[in-house]
Each structure stands twice: as structure tokens, then as C-alpha cells.
Amino acid sequence: MEKAVIIGAGMTPVGEHWKLALRDLAVEAILKAMEDAGIDSVDSLYVANMISGPLVEQENLGALIADWAGLGNIPAVKIEAACASGGAAVQEGVKAVLSGLEDVVVVVGVEKMTDAWPSDTTRYLAYAADAEWELFHGASFVALNALIMRYYMKTYGYTEEDLALFAVNAHANGAKNPYAMFKKPIKVETVLKSPYVADPLKLFDASPVCDGAAALIITTPDKAKELGVPKEKWVEVAGIGRAIDTINLANREDLLDLKAARVAAQRAYKMAGVEPKDIDFFEVHDAFTVMAALSLEALGAAERGKGAQLAKEGQIAIDADYPIQTMGGLKARGHPVGATGVYQTVEAVLQLRGEAPTQVPDAEIGLTQNIGGTGSNITVNILRRV
């Protein structure tokens, strides 16, 4: 089967962009990606976004962003899969070019979260939970993840200190990423001394509320050749997988099994013809530290209950066996929710081209995993150096 290739990537710094609107962020990322690929037109636009309606009172993002980016009368839509919107939009772009219906597509992920009141943002984020079974009862995402964190620690005997290691690793890598929101390394004590948001989950166990946009140009190898894009720029999308699980935690068979990630990963591994041991780095969805641990287990990098053990053994650093969050992850780069999956992919592209500020030595294959809801909608994409 022919594979799609990414030939251009661009992103804005993640942060509190008081002076830029959602559209400005998206256009900046798109133009950077097009410049990177050396192209001046695309056939179609896919916008990854989670909650622009409530946050900035703007829907119809396809039309808005294609118009403001000057892309002409192309087809353009918004793809929404909660915090996994980015990973899902990358997959829709890949499917479009592999179907032969579109030759060159641009995928942009964008979210503008800091224009709303924090309490409102927390409520809008919880729209991705079960409105009747969770949101109605006041359960925010932080609260739901705190339940999982407590259960994980109790079941496997981990401490808050153990899980803090994921935040320390993310900040160490984010400190070297000019696009990251937080560029300061932290210590375990920083995490432990930070205030509880929902016991046992603390400020530094959580990803921040922020703004940002990232974009990719996707095409086929034939078209990339025709366009004259040098092969050093190509990164193959070797495998994609997506799956859902129960939307509310109460109906989940096993709170500590990210089943949607497991199923999505199996699909992506099969399509790419690789196994977990072949992956050189993992960009996992560490919206909360416990999610990094559960993700490593679901992706097959660690056995059940051993995700946090990898961090304790120092195995998740850039030069170790299972590097994760190579440019800061959600925790330090930031988590502009609908854009995150595209940021992860842009970072994987930089790693595989050998252009990352925190380079994984000899990286050939990278995996990105993007979680929507509390594990209810998950994408896994595998990228390979050409």
C-alpha cells in the first residue's frame, strides 16, 4: 500500500497569545508549513479544533481559516474528536491523499483557550466528558484524572513522587524547545510543593491552558516528487489507528486500561509493520502525569502497572530506551487542546528529519498518541524517516 508523506511543517509558539486571534495563529502556522514545503497552494484544508464555539464564539473554522489564509475556494472542514482532534485531523488528511481524491492537503490544529474565564474553560473542556453522567455532577477533567491517578497509585504502589518524574522529564525537554510554553527545568520537589488542584493531582501534574497552532502539508510520494520537494523533507506516515472506549468512566471495564489506545496502537503497528520495540520515541498524551504512565502501558512500551517504573528507571529521557515528550509534551510545550495532536506530529517530523532542538539520536521511527476525553477517543500515528 502506498504511504502518505508529510512534506512541510510549521507551528507558533505555545503560550498566552493576548494579541493574536484564533485565525491569526492558524494562518501563521499554515503559511510556515507551506513555506517549509515550498508550495503556494493546496487542494484542501482540515482544521483540528475542539471547542472554538464556546471559547471564542466561532464555528465554521474551515471557511474562516481557508479564507484568511488566502487558500482560495478549496474544500475546508473542522475535525473534532475532543483533545484528539489533532491526531484525527492528521488521519483525515492522510486518508484524503491516499484515496486519490486530493493531492496536497494542509492540516492545521488550532485552539485559543486564554480568552475565556478559567472557570468557563474548565466547563467547556468537560464537554468532552459525558454531559449527563459526569459534567452534570460537576466532574471536571482534572477531577476525573485525579480519580484515575489515585487508583493507579493505590493499585500498583506508586507515590506522587514517582508520577512527578513524568513532569520533570517533560520540563527538561521543554526547556530546550523555543516553541514551548514552559522553558524552565523543574525538580521533583517543584511538583510535590505545587498546590493540589484535585487531590492527589497537583498543578505540576497538569498540562496548562494555552493558545497555539501547528500545521502540516501531506501528500503522496509521487506528488512530492512532482512538486520537487527534496527528499530530506519527507517523513512517511507509516501507520494510523483510531478507536473509542466508553465516554464515561463509570461504564469503563477497567479504569487503568486505556483500551482505545491499545486497539488504536495495534491498528497503527499493523499498518506500519512494526512493533513497540521498533519505536525510537513516543509523543504520548501527558495531559496529566498518570496519563503518560497509562499510555506507555497501552502502547506496549511497558507491561501493565510498569509505566511509572520506566520513569523511575530513567528510561524515558531523550538518550534512554523509551524517550517520551521529546520537546516538552503537553505538560511543558503546552496543550492547546484541539491543536495538540498536530503539534505532536510536527515535533515528530522535526525529530525524524534530524532538526529537533532536543534530538533523539538516530531517530528512524516515532509514534504520536493523542487522547480525547478521559481515554474515550484515541489516535495513534506512526511516522518513519524516508
**What is the closest distance, in whole angstroms, from the C-beta atom of residue 185 to ligand COA in the complex?**
13
In DSSP notation, 83-138 reads BTHHHHHHHHHHHHHHHTS-SSEEEEEEEE-TTS-HHHHHHHHGGGS-TTTTGGGT
Nearer to ligand COA, 83 or 356 (CB): 83
C-alpha pair distances (Å), 354 with each of 183, 362, 363, 372:
21, 8, 8, 29
User: 17, 171, 285, 335: which one is catalytic?
Assistant: 335
Nearer to ligand COA, 208 or 366 (CB): 208
- Segment contacting ligand COA (CB under 6 A): 98-106, 206-214, 267-275, 361-369? 206-214
**What is the closest distance, in whole angstroms, from the C-beta atom of residue 148 to ligand COA in the complex?**
12
Is position 147 an interface residue for ligand COA (rule: CB under 6 A)? no
Q: Which residue is listed with cell 517533560?
A: 170
Is position 172 an interface residue for ligand COA (rule: CB under 6 A)? no
- Segment contacting ligand COA (CB under 6 A): 4-12, 52-60, 196-204, 317-325? 196-204
335 in catalytic set: yes
Name 45's bridge partners.
76, 106
Q: Which of residues 324-363 bind ligand COA (CB under 6 A)?
A: 335, 337
Member of 197, 292, 327, 378 binding ligand COA (CB under 6 A):
197
Q: By CB under 6 A, how many residues form the interface with ligand COA?
A: 16
How far is 293 from 6, CA to CA, in rounded Å? 29
- Segment contacting ligand COA (CB under 6 A): 21-29, 66-74, 198-206, 357-365? 198-206
Member of 92, 108, 141, 237 binding ligand COA (CB under 6 A):
141
Q: Which of residues 268-307 bind ligand COA (CB under 6 A)?
A: 287
Cell numbers given for 358: 532536543
Q: Which ranges in the chain belong to alpha helices (H)? A: 22-37, 52-56, 61-68, 85-99, 118-125, 141-156, 160-174, 188-193, 221-227, 259-272, 289-298, 307-312, 329-332, 340-353
Q: Which of residues 233-272 bind ligand COA (CB under 6 A)?
A: none
83 in catalytic set: yes
End-to-end CA, the chain: 16
C-alpha count within 13 angstroms, C-beta hemisphere, residue 114? 17
Q: Which residue is listed with cell 521533583?
A: 188
Member of 152, 166, 204, 269 binding ligand COA (CB under 6 A):
204
**What is the closest distance, in whole angstroms, from the C-beta atom of residue 196 to ligand COA in the complex?**
10
User: 83, 171, 210, 285: which one is catalytic?
Assistant: 83
**What is the closest distance, in whole angstroms, from the C-beta atom of residue 59 to ligand COA in the complex?**
20
43 close to 62: Cβ distance less than 8 angstroms: no
How far is 293 from 54, CA to CA, in rounded Å? 31
Is position 209 an interface residue for ligand COA (rule: CB under 6 A)? yes
3-state secondary structure of 227: helix
Is position 314 an interface residue for ligand COA (rule: CB under 6 A)? no
Q: Which of residues 70-89 bind ligand COA (CB under 6 A)?
A: 83
Residue window 87-126: x/- pattern of binding to ligand COA, with contact defined by CB under 6 A: -------------------------------x---x--x-
Member of 62, 200, 208, 338 binding ligand COA (CB under 6 A):
208
**What is the closest distance, in whole angstroms, from the C-beta atom of residue 72 to ligand COA in the complex?**
34
Degrees to nearest 5, angle at CA 87 with 174 and 214 = 55
C-alpha gyration radius of the chain: 19
Is position 220 an interface residue for ligand COA (rule: CB under 6 A)? no
C-alpha pair distances (Å), 254 with each of 151, 257, 285, 292, 384:
11, 6, 19, 17, 32
- Residues lying near ligand COA in the complex (CB under 6 A): 83, 118, 122, 125, 141-142, 197, 203-204, 206-209, 287, 335, 337
Q: Which residues are catalytic?
A: 83, 335
